[in-house]
Amino acid sequence: MKIATWNVNSLNVRLEQVIEWLNKHQPDVLALQELKQEQNKFPINEFTKINYNAAWLGQKTYNGVALICKDEISDIVYGMTNFTDEQSRVISATYRNIRFICVYCVNGESIDSEKFIYKQQWFDALNQHIIHEKNRYDNCVVLGDFNIAPADIDVYDPQKWQGKILCSDIERECFCRMLALGFSDSIRELSKEKQLFTWWDYRMNSFRRNLGMRIDHILLTPQLMQCANDFGVDTEQRAQERPSDHAPVWIECNW
């Protein structure tokens, strides 16, 4: 099984790129973030044409998440359990007896802002939602744009970013608490000590200079992690014309 995640930063702009990527790489599951589309504007027909099903939660202009799958999707949950959020950031669904939770986590803006307080509250709610889903399913995958670089190796210049948004101790502790629910950071475990990035700012010619961060993650429960045998970050996609600022991230499991 091939599992992928990609913050597309507007599906309206990058639908053709997504369809081409699906046709080329044939993942079983592709989680998308930042659709930036209203619910009734999602281009479901474009996915069914290439034999994919989809579950999505849209929002005009901002946010939006989707799960694109080769076979039937069931038990779809929109948003988080017991947490009212006007922002479309989480969708959960079952595919081949695996629970997939696609997340577009809060950015937080800056560590001295009200949005950062909201980010912490949001992650607390996400953990409760994950606990609820794990109680229902033995095998779970949490994947998407977490807006957290878990460690210094995940940042091009750790000293420059020390204590700042995406890299603060508070955010990294949020990430660790999520792993403590019974997950592995699959890309880090498979890549060992190799530095790799999944996001590069549009500014400062960041991609060509490789000034990036690893903030897109695929978390696996133990049985799935034992089956994981390959991974990749598709930097070729980030090098295309009018790209998203994120690259697709994928793993393969013998499942």
Q: Which residues are catalytic?
A: 104, 145
C-alpha torsion 23→65→214→158, nearest 10: 160
**Token pair belonging to 147:** 């807006």
Q: Looking at the DSSP assignment, which residues form a beta bridge with residue 99? A: 94, 140
Inter-residue contact 177 to 125 (CB < 8 Å): no
Angle between helices 169-179 and 114-136 (to 10 degrees): 10
Q: For CA atoms 159, 164, 170, 175, give the dihedral sign.
A: negative
